[in-house]
Amino acid sequence: MGKNGANSSPDFLVHNPQDSVGVAVVDLAPKATARGRLLSGEALPPLTSRDAVPLGHKLALKDVAKGDRVIKYGQVIGEATAAIPAGAHVHTHNLRGLRWGKKEKQ
């Protein structure tokens, strides 16, 4: 977890303000207070991790309902296969990529 303070390193990064997931830049323990930042440098409100989130993995920024599209880089990257609460680890156990299979809805 990053150190307290405005100039501390973030625990997760968010590529686009419209994203529903951020990327952990450190290993996050369950119930950790994680500090985030947009790539533009703007600090985000702290988020409590629900699960262990390994470095480089996705962290839900908000509640995502089963069937909802998951947004990263400002783009749809997949569909939630289960309800994903804010702070949860987002990976293959609760996210299905749309590259193969279902076509994007226009």
Residue 50: name the closest of 100, 15, 19, 94 by CA: 94
Average pLDDT in the chain: 90
Instruction: Classify domain 12-97 by CATH number.
Output: 2.30.130.110
Query: Average pLDDT of 24-41?
Result: 97
Distance between CA atoms of 100 and 97, rounded to whole angstroms?
Answer: 7
pTM (two decimals): 0.85
**Helix residue ranges, H only, 29-100:** none
Domain coordinates of the chain in residue numbers? 12-97
**40-69 residue pLDDT tens:** 999 999 999 999 999 999 999 999 999 999
